[in-house]
A and B are shown apart, each in its own frame.
Chain A
Amino acid sequence: MLWRLPYHFGRYLMMLWQAFSRPENYRMYWKETVRQMYDIGIGSIVIVALISIFIGAVSGLQFVYQLDGQLIPMYYIGYIVRDLAIIELSPTFTNLVLAGKVGSNMTSEIGGMRQKEHIDAMEIMGLNTAAYLVLPRTIAALAVIPLLVAVSAMLAIIGGYVATVLPGELSHSDYVRGLLTFYNPYNVKMMFIKSYVFAFILTTVSCYQGYYVKSGSVALGKASTQAVVYSNILILLADYLLVVLLTSD
């Protein structure tokens, strides 16, 4: 498989080169972008909210357990949950989940269009199909996913509060004090940078898998799986690189 990597990377770059060219009709592209924004945003908000509340809740409880009886002040839990959500959990978890939900959906949709000759039909009409299928999805993802990540971070913090303060593991004032301690706006910037990079990866990798799918339902299933697997691997790799890059002095 690895020896095919340069081939796929080259073809992926060529698809992007075609995709990021001037649209034939801005109105039609905008219409498609809005449809994709709706699908990605409204279609994913429930799953993102659920996951965010739970990761916040679990993080809060884990740190109550770990810091219990230590010399570290308990209000640090609010601070840890906040920064963990903003810097790492919300951008990474949200995008890993979206790679599974939105990414595989994009691969299936585009792959189905390829198999049912819809893409050929568009080509014959004279349309730049890579642009029409990839560009609106990428723009929509770049517009909506960072917002979902921001919502996710807020909900994770609320989840942490619900799981630690309501059962009495931590006082309200301790949690809020933690939230207000050592606040660094740069972390929010880091969250958005990560969100944009991950959103770009999951969208373009998923579109690539669908755009070049071979015929047959087995190939389509395989492409959807590959879209999720490759997006996840690349998101985690990018996460590591971004942390190295953004936290180095």
Chain B
Amino acid sequence: MVRVEDIRKSFGDTEVLKGISLTFEKGKTNLIIGRSGAGKTVLLKTLVGLITPTSGTVWYDDINFTQLDKKSLREVRMNIGMLFQGSALFDSLTVEENIRFPMDMFKKMTLAEKRKRVDYCLEVVGLEGINDKFPSEISGGMQKRVGIARAIVLDPDYLFCDEPNSGLDPKTSLLIDDLILDITRTNKTTTIINTHDMNSVMGIGENIALLHKGKMAWQGHKEEIIDSDNELLQSFIFASPFLKELKEKAYGHK
């Protein structure tokens, strides 16, 4: 479980996060949604410690993440996997070397053991046999999947995904969503996903937090969305006239 208490973050005079308190549950897909500039990325980067909050606390289970010294911070981070928007695979390394990198750096394992683990992770993401390819030789969707494989290679308790569907076609997006959901349920990870993608929201949104101008605007399950009378949520989810019309036809209310 990851919990944030009254998180605030300012850049100069601009307050981007205005006192957010949230709980991200273990074994569930926790989604952070909101319009561009709502503070989603800043919140996600604050959660993983890439941005230091102006005030407030981030808890990883019973560890106060915001109070950790550098050494302890690194230890907690070894239990975090993160999928980046652009995959962030190292160009000069092959797929296998990319996935192996955290093990090479931190684990005392034989090469054979590491290779076995890499093969297992590639199997989980459905990309067996591409070990020797370079990131530039595979598609964007495959890069995302390799990014997921690298994120889970150390079997983390916490999985963060920053816009996992950006730049992908709807089919590949669904594949990535299913993969994340599957990993979350199988490994019982606390998964936190920052997304704009409505398919993801309606598909895997088990605990959704809507941010608006740096504040919490709504929180709930995907099935509560349709009946919610929160205007910000409705205008965000059913942003296009087509979707609005479709909803009205299907559910008979505005």
Measured CB to CB, the residues of A under 8 A from B are 24-25, 27-28, 113, 116-118, 120-121, 123-128
Contact = CB atoms under 8 A, between A and B. Distances in A.
B5 interface: no
Interface string B95-132: 00000011011100000000000000000000000000
B82 A124 contact: yes
A128 B50 CA distance: 13
Interface string B52-91: 0000000000000000000001110110111011101010
Interface of B: 45, 48-50, 73-75, 77-78, 80-82, 84-86, 88, 90, 101-102, 104-106, 160
A117 B160 CA distance: 14
A27 B114 CA distance: 15
A120 B84 contact: yes
A132 to B, nearest CB: 8
Contacts of A123: 49-50, 77
A116 B86 contact: yes
Contact of A116 (B78, B88, B160): B88
Contact of A127 (B45, B49, B105): B105
A116 B84 CA distance: 9
Contacts of B73: 126
Contacts of A120: 45, 50, 82, 84, 88
30 contacts: A24-B105, A25-B104, A25-B105, A27-B104, A28-B104, A28-B105, A113-B90, A116-B86, A117-B85, A117-B88, A118-B88, A118-B90, A120-B50, A120-B84, A121-B82, A123-B49, A123-B50, A124-B48, A124-B77, A124-B160, A125-B77, A125-B101, A125-B102, A125-B105, A126-B77, A126-B78, A126-B106, A127-B74, A127-B105, A128-B74
Contacts of A24: 105-106
Nearest to A27: B104
A113 B74 CA distance: 20
B106 A124 contact: no
Give the interface centre of B45, B90, B105 by most chain A CB atoms within 10 Å. Answer: B105
Contacts of A124: 48, 50, 77, 80-82, 160
Nearest to A115: B86
Contacts of B50: 120, 123-124
